[in-house]
Amino acid sequence: MTIAFMWAEAQDHLIGDRGQLPWHLPADLQHFKKTTLNQIVVMGRKTYAGMGKPLPQRTNIVLSRQADYSVVPGVLLLHNIDDVLAYAAAHPEQETIIIGGAAIFALFKDHVDRLYVTEIDAHFTGDTVMPALDWSAFKQVAFQVGVVDANNHYPYSFATYQRLAK
């Protein structure tokens, strides 16, 4: 099984503001869709609530400590990390992609094998930052500079990192 993280961060590791993304960058949403389609996406309850609906054509797992938290049919509500790891192990043909937010990235940081990160070289204000990762345990395996155009106003890049053999 592969556990991956996928996130976008701006300067100062900012990832969120009041339950939403601080920026509008459609090219990153397309990249996110392409990478996560048909895979398992795992998100915290706050990120799920911020999206308002599950991501289509993906297995959506929401983590919450609330036993009775209500999700729409088809979404899998789990309550602890071990249940997510067991689900991932039972579905090794799919990548299990942790899509945030900060609380959920922190929870899985010792389990993650692959990192898909979009770096946005711009400053935004917000309230949520990416937790620190042990970058010395990873090597970069892909890098692509993003195209700045009329719809995508900020310089950005897509990178992929793979965990080095332990």
Ligand X SMILES: NC(=O)c1ccc[n+]([C@@H]2O[C@H](COP(=O)([O-])OP(=O)(O)OC[C@H]3O[C@@H](n4cnc5c(N)ncnc54)[C@H](OP(=O)(O)O)[C@@H]3O)[C@@H](O)[C@H]2O)c1
146 part of the interface to ligand X, by CB under 6 A: no
Q: Which CB sits closer to ligand X, 67 or 150? A: 67
End-to-end Cα distance, the chain: 16
User: Kind of pairing, strands 76-78 and 59-63?
Assistant: parallel
Contacts to ligand X from residues 10-69, by CB under 6 A: 15-17, 19-21, 43-47, 50, 63-66, 69
Q: Which CB sits closer to ligand X, 22 or 93? A: 22
How far is 2 from 93, CA to CA, in rounded Å? Answer: 9
Contacts to ligand X from residues 147-166, by CB under 6 A: none
- Residue 76 burial class via C-beta count within 10 angstroms: exposed 0-12, middle 13-18, buried 19 and up: middle
**Which of 103, 122, 129, 137 is in the footprint of ligand X by CB under 6 A?**
103
Encoding tokens for residue 48? 């799920």
Binding site for ligand X (CB under 6 A): 7-8, 15-17, 19-21, 43-47, 50, 63-66, 69, 79-81, 99-104, 107, 128
